[in-house]
Structure 1
Amino acid sequence: MRTRNHLQLITAIASSVIALSACGRKESVPKPQIPEIGFVTVNPQAVRVSTELPGRTSAYLVAQVRARADGIVLSRDFVEGGEVRAGQRLYKIDPAPYVAKVDAAKAALAKAEASLITASALAKRDKVLVAASAISEQDYENAVSAERVAAADVAARKAEVETAQINLGYTNVIAPVTGRTGVSQVTPGAYVQANQATLMDTIQEIDRVYVDVAQASLDGLKLRRAIQEGRLKTYGPNAAKVTLILEDGREYPQKGTLQFSDVTVDQSTGSVRLRAVFPNPDRVLLPGMFVQARVETGIDEHAFLVPQVGVTHDQKGHVNALVVGPDNKVVIRSLVTAGTYGADWLVDSGLQPGDRVIVQGTGKVRPGMMVKAVPATNAAAVIRSSTELAVRRSPSPGTPASQSAASGV
C-alpha cells in the first residue's frame, strides 16, 4: 500500500513538471511581427508616348544612269564615289554616227524646203490662171494640195533634225540629279546600247535620307483607338518627331519628321510601312544602315508610371502589382501596361490616383497580409516626379521586333 502511494506521488510530480515545461515553451513563442514594406504613391501625369522600332535607311533620291545612245565610251569625266551636280557630264560616247545623222536630216530638210518653195510658187500662179479661166479648177486644187504636201514634208524633216540632235545630245551622258556617285559600271572603250539601257552608274542624294520602319497593324489599331477615345493627344499632322539610335548605340543628333504611313498591310508580315525623313548634312547616315527609330506618337495626359520593381508577371503572362489598401492590408491589382521607360512601366489601367504601390519588400508579403507601410527609401530614384516624360510603347505580345507598333498618325 505504501509502495502504491509512492508511485502515485512520483507520477503527480512528473505531470506537474511536464505541464510547467509546456507552459514555459508556450510563453517563449514570439508573436508574429508585421512586415515593413516600402511604397510609392502613384498619380496620373502627362507623359510623352513614343514607340521604338527597327528600320533601315535609304537615299532620298536614287537615279540610275543608263545609256540612251549606242556607241563606244570615249571618256569618264568624274571620280567614282565623288559628288556630282545635276547637268554635269559623266561620260562621253562616240558622237560621230550621230553627227552624220544630224547632217543627213538637215540635208533632207533643205530639200523639202526647196520643194515647198516650188509648190508654193505653182499654187500662187495657178490661182491667177484659174481666175482667168485659163486652167481648170481641178488643176488649181492639185497645185494647192501639192503645196500642202510639201509643207508637211518640211515639218517632218524638221522633226527628223530635232530627233537627230536629241540623239546626238545623248552621247553626252549627264547627271540627272545632284548626289554622290557609286562604282562606275563601264570604262572607256566599253560598248553601250540604248535598247538594252546599259547601266553605267548610280547617283544617290544623301543630304537627306529616308528611314523605313514596320508598324504592326494590331498596335496601330490600338493606338488609333486610344486617340479616338481621347486617352492620347497627338501632335497634329506631320508633327510627330523621330529620333534615331545608331548601330553603335549613340543617338543621332538630327531630329526627323514622320512623312507618311502606308495604307496597305503586308499580308506576309501583318505590318504597315512608316517612312520618316532625316537631314544628313555630315553624311553620317548611309543607305542601307540598320537603325532604331523612336517615334513620338503623342501625349498621354492621364498616365501612371510605376517602377518595374513593383510590377510582376504570373505564369499566364498577366501583369500584377501589390498595393497597400486603406486598412494597411496587401491587395493585388491586375494591370494593363503600354510600354516602358527606363525603370518604369506605363500603366493604362488597374490603378487609382493615390494608390500606394509596394516597391520594397514585395518578396515577404502576400495578398491579405497586414503590413507596416512606409515611403520607399530613395523614392526619387524609384519613380520619376517629372510632369512630362517620354515613354516607349511595347509591341503587342508575340509581335516580331521587325513588326513592332509605331505611330499611325
Structure 2
Amino acid sequence: MPARMCHARAIALVMGSASLALALTVPAQAAPNGGGAHHRGIERAVLPQGDGWASAEGSTTGGAAATPDHVYTVTDRAELIAAFEDAGDAPKIIRIDGTVHGNADAAGDPIGCEAYQTDGYTLDKYLAAYDPDTWGRTEVPSGPMEDARLASAKRQKDAVNVYVPSNTTIVGVGKDATVIGASIQIQNVSNVIVRNITFEDTYDCFPQWDPTDGDTGHWNSEYDNLVVHGSDHVWVDHNTFSDGDRHDADQPRYFDELYQQHDGLFDIVKGADLVTASYNVLKDHDKTMLIGNSDKAGDTDRGHLRVTLHHNLFKDLNERAPRVRFGQVDSYNNHFVATRGSVYGYSYGIGAESHLVAEHNAFSLSGEFDQAKILKKWSESSLTAGDNYVNGRRTDLIAVHNAGVPSEQLTTGAGWTPTLRTRVDHPLLVPLVVGVSAGAGRIPGA
C-alpha cells in the first residue's frame, strides 16, 4: 500500500476515533432539580479498578460508605471544618455548594491580609527594615519585623490550612463549586477522593524576603491549593487549579524581584503514596506540582510517591508539571499547552532517583518555545518517554533534549512498566479528549 494511503487511513482512523471519543466524553445532562440519582452517583463514586496507582494495594473509596448523617453540604470554611470534625475518620461525604473562602471571617465573608497583621507588621515597615541597601544581601531577615511577619503568617496559616480526615469524599455540587484562598491538606491520612471543584488563588499574605536565595534574592511564599502529605490512596479527579484573578505577572516587584504570593498548585510529598490524578486542569501558574519535595528525603520517599497522572491539562505553566523525585510516576495521555506570550521553562523535571514514565502525551507548544526544554534534568536519573507527540508529530523527547542540551544528557529506562491503566488514547486524540472532559464541571451528571 502506498505510504500516502497508509497515512490517509491513519488520519481517518484517528478522526473516526475522535468522533467516538467526543460522543463518549461529552458530559451527560443533569436531571431536573439537581438530578438526585446523578448526584448520588457522583458523591458515592469510587475509583475504578485498575485506574492508576491509587487502585493498587486495596482500593480508594473515600466516603462512599457514608451513612446519611455523615453527608454534609457546606457553604463556607467554618461549615467545612465543622463537618470534618463531626465525622472524624468515619466515612463521610462533604458537598461544596457555591464558593468557600479560606481567608474569611466567622460569617464566611472574605477578609484581606490586614486582618492577620499583628505585632506591628506592615509591608511598608518590612520593606524598610530589609532593604538590601541597608540590610545587605548576605543574611536572611531577622529581628522584630521578621518576628512580626512570622506571627502574622501563623495567624493566616491557622485560617488557610484545612485538614482532611481519612475516608472522605469532597465533591463539588453542580458546575461552579469553588474554593478560594484555602489550602486543602490531605496529611497523614488514607482513602480520600476530591472531585469537581475549582481551586483558586491560595495566596500568602506574608512572603519572606531571602536576599541569599540565588544571585539576586527571592520572595518565598507558602501554601498550595492542594497538598497530599504522607497520605495514601488518594484520587483527585475533574478539578481545576489556578491562581484565579491574582496573576503572578500582575504583582509588584520589590527589591527588583517579583513579590511572589503563590507556591504550588498541587503537591504530593513527604512519603505520600498510591495517588491517581485524572482529568484535572492545572493552568496559569509558575511552580505547579512537586512529587517529592527534597533531594534529601530518600529515607521517607523511597518506595513511596507512586503516582499516576492521566488525562490532565497542563496549560501555560512555567515549570514542575511535575518535577519528580524518588517516585514511580506514570504520566500518560496528558495535554501540555504553552501558548504564545506565556512563560515556559519546562514540563517534566527529572529529579533525584526519579522513575518517571511519560508516554502517549500530547504537547502543543508555541513556536517560540524550545522543544528540548520539555524535559529538565535536575539529577542523574533515567526515564521512559515513548510515543509522545509535539505539535502533532511523534517526537523522541529524550533525543530532542539531549541534542538541544548537550551538557545535561538524559538516559532511557525508568526501570519499571506501568500496568494500572484503564484506557489509553492515541496521543493525537488526547487534546480533544482532555479538552472535552478535563476540569471541574465536566463530570457526567454533575
**TM class by smaller structure:** under 0.3
Instruction: Determine which structure has the larger helix proportion and give its number.
Output: 1
Higher relative contact order (CA 8 A, sep 6+): 1
Normalised to the residue count of structure 2, the TM-score between the two structures is 0.17
**Rg comparison, structure with higher value:** 1
Instruction: Determine which structure has the larger strand proportion and give its number.
Output: 1
